[in-house]
């Protein structure tokens, strides 16, 4: 059976470019993931789910993404055995990758969410399996992995609960984390939940435009990490006007040769974001697009998560033979890091605190202006 998708502006315009069809009866049926204005195949007779409001009012209890198909139940209270497609049985299914702005399901680190209060949510963390970039650091989970989970949780809640249309741009002004390393051992796959509290929620008219997210990562009743960050949302048109001549910018190739990967605790040159200069505490940022985790899709500026990883690598490089595990980062973005001008990453000497933690500040400068400021704390780790 085939049908033509009927468009309803209040629903489809909010959800485009991805669309979902759902059955109005049990058991759940399986449908193809289709794009706007295309034809769709219904595996079982059904009709389009019609409800008032935008998609985020019903998406959460109805949907999970299984490989390249969506499995949708129209009654959230039913006890339904979900079919898994291309997902290991031991792992929970990922949320749709387009709800966290990742092109590949293997890069999605969240599996479920629910509202627990007016502005509070609970999100289930989904640790990656054998990820080529988010590898263990000294036997602990990578700080960049934890920061990425925090970033994804903020974007997920913005789309699924506050109705931000797909295709809108997210602007981060800061991203922070604090980690209890003894509680994030790399081989511990126990369930972790992210308790999200939203504050300073901003709107333009009735449309959501930004907020600050405060998060606690909890395992077995113990807080293993905390994080927070502020984000703003803007339409594609407004974003292009804001970016002006840089709206269509792309990375400049080739990139400069990297420092030796071992200096920044990496094994592959494509994962190294620092190129040497004459100053041993200053490096040129490398926008190496072969790293498909940090440069997952075309962008007109260096992504914020790439700047965070560059901050970590600068800390490892300046520490030399001292093995560091970052436990706290306060990262403030002051302007975009552009592709057309060298961005210099500078690290101050490491200082030791009374509690044996180490601290340093790292900055990015471009054309004489500061791009970001990072304040990082770490602990020395024995070999």
Torsion of CA 228, 230, 16, 305, to 10 degrees: -70
Nearest to 319 by CA among 353, 277, 352: 352
- Tell me which residue of 11, 25, 213, 54 sits closest to 119, measured CA to CA: 213
Query: By the 8 A CB rule, do 98 and 108 touch?
Result: no
Q: What is the pLDDT of residues 66-100, one digit of tens each?
A: 333 232 222 222 232 333 333 334 577 899 999 99
Give yes or no for a cis peptide into 254 (omega within 30° of 0): yes
How far, in Å, CA of 137 to CA of 141, rounded?
A: 6
Would you tell me the crossing angle of helices 143-160 and 304-319 to the nearest 10 degrees?
Answer: 170
Q: What is the pLDDT of residue 90?
A: 58
Residues of the chain with pLDDT under 70: 1-90
- Report the distance separating Cα 71 and Cα 117, nearest Å: 27
Q: Full-prediction pTM beyond 0.95?
A: no
Burial label for 276, CB within 10 Å (0-12, 13-18, 19+), is middle
Backbone angles phi, psi at 213, to 5 degrees: -110, 135
DSSP letter for 260, please.
P
> For 307-364, how does the pLDDT look when each residue is reduced to its tens digit (9 = 90+)?
999 999 999 999 999 999 999 999 999 999 999 999 999 999 889 988 889 999 999 9
H or E segment and range at residue 372:
strand 369-380
Residue among 72, 83, 76 at smallest CA distance from 46: 72
User: Which pLDDT value is given to residue 362?
Assistant: 98
């Amino acid at each position: 059976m085939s049908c033509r998708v009927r468009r309803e502006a209040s629903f489809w315009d909010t959800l485009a470019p991805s669309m979902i069809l759902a059955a109005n009866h049990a058991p759940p049926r399986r449908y193809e993931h289709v794009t706007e204005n295309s034809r769709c195949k219904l595996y079982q007779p059904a009709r389009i789910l019609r409800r008032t409001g935008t998609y985020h009012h019903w998406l959460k209890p109805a949907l999970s993404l299984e490989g390249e198909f969506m499995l949708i139940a129209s009654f959230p209270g039913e006890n339904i055995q979900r079919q898994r497609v291309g997902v290991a049985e031991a792992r929970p299914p990922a949320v749709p990758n387009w709800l966290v702005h990742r092109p590949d399901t293997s890069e999605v680190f969240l599996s479920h969410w629910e509202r627990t209060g007016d502005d509070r949510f609970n999100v289930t963390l989904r640790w990656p399996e054998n990820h080529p970039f988010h590898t263990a650091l000294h036997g602990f989970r990578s700080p960049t992995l934890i920061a990425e989970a925090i970033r994804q949780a903020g974007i997920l809640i913005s789309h699924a609960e506050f109705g931000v249309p797909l295709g809108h741009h997210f602007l981060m002004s800061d991203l922070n984390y604090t980690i209890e390393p003894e509680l994030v051992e790399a081989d511990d796959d126990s369930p972790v939940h992210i308790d999200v509290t939203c504050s300073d929620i901003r709107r333009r008219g009735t449309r959501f435009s930004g907020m600050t997210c405060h998060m606690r990562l909890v395992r077995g009743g113990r807080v293993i990490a905390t994080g927070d960050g502020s984000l703003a949302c803007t339409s594609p048109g407004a974003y292009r006007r804001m970016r002006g001549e840089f709206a269509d910018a792309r990375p400049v190739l080739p990139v400069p040769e990297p420092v030796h990967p071992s200096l920044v605790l990496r094994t592959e040159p494509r994962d190294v974001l620092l190129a040497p200069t004459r100053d041993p505490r200053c490096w040129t940022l490398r926008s190496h697009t072969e790293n498909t985790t940090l440069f997952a899709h075309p962008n007109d500026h260096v992504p914020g998560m790439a700047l965070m990883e560059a901050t970590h690598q600068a800390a490892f490089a300046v520490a030399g033979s001292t093995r560091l595990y970052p436990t706290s980062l306060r990262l403030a973005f002051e302007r975009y890091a552009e592709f057309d001008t060298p961005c210099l990453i500078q690290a101050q000497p490491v200082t030791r605190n009374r509690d044996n933690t180490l601290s340093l500040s790292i900055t990015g400068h471009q054309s004489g202006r500061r791009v970001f400021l990072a304040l990082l704390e770490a602990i020395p780790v024995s070999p």
